[in-house]
Amino acid sequence: MMIYYVAGVVIAYLLGSIPTAVWVGRVWHGIDVREHGSKNAGATNTFRVLGKKAGIVVLSVDIIKGIVAAGLPFLLLGNAVDKDTVTNIQVLSALSAVLGHVFPIFAGFRGGKGVATSLGVIIGLHPLTAAICLGVFLTVFISSGFVSLGAMTSALLFPLVIIFFFQEDSPFLIGFSILLSCAVILAHRKNIGRLIAGNENKMNLFKK
């Protein structure tokens, strides 16, 4: 089975490494989004720098990357193995996809914070948890105007929902949920500083 673990990790990393924001910026607008705005190669910065059309494309593709990565075990193995093995490969593939987004081999290892791809892998791993986390994210974001606050709140909620609400018993899944939550918070450490200082950038979802 080791070959399937390795294949899942490698393919998922390459999927995650697709630098959607960088490529959309260069092809459609002739700029590198990492040189503008927050200098982050993610959907939020794309919305701010390039507008809604480009932002929606980047957000959608980055989420799809995560969904496909989490679904790789089913493509590689089908129903040929037990559930625990599939879950383990799913978790490793999901982690690899997020790492690929943050450190993309196709863009000099300078990527985004992995929030959209993280949502994608959560959808692939546990759709009901993803729905809850997405609902919380939208509630916090729309009410506060802070994308970062919504992302961190939903990230903190992810392991709590997995462990206490759905009472999942997979060590791989539980460990991944905690690790991903910590990684998202760490990726937003500068945003935390700006939130405390009162100078974090807001975004109006409905503004034209």
pLDDT tens track for 85-127: 888 899 999 999 999 999 999 999 999 999 999 999 999 999 9
Exposed/middle/buried for residue 207 (C-beta within 10 Å: 0-12, 13-18, 19+)? exposed
Asked if 48 and 37 count as a contact pair (C-beta separation under 8 A), the reply is yes
Would the pTM count as exceeding 0.75? yes
For 4-13, 18-27, 30-39, 195-204, which range has the lowest pLDDT when averaged over its residues? 195-204
Q: Assign 201 a pLDDT band (cuts: 50, 70, 90).
A: confident
Q: What is the pLDDT of residues 28-40, one digit of tens each?
A: 999 999 999 889 9
Greatest Cα-to-Cα distance within the chain, rounded to the nearest angstrom = 53
Asked if 1 and 82 count as a contact pair (C-beta separation under 8 A), the reply is no
Please tell me the predicted confidence (pLDDT) of residue 202. 87
Question: In one letter, which amino acid is 181?
Answer: S
Distance CA 131, CA 123 (A): 8
Q: What is the pLDDT of residues 141-174, one digit of tens each?
A: 999 999 999 999 999 999 999 999 999 988 999 9
Q: Assign 15 a pLDDT band (cuts: 50, 70, 90).
A: very high
Please tell me the predicted confidence (pLDDT) of residue 127. 95
The DSSP output letter for 109 is T
Give just the sign of the alpha carbon dihedral 83, 114, 205, 162. positive
pLDDT at residue 206 is higher than 70: no
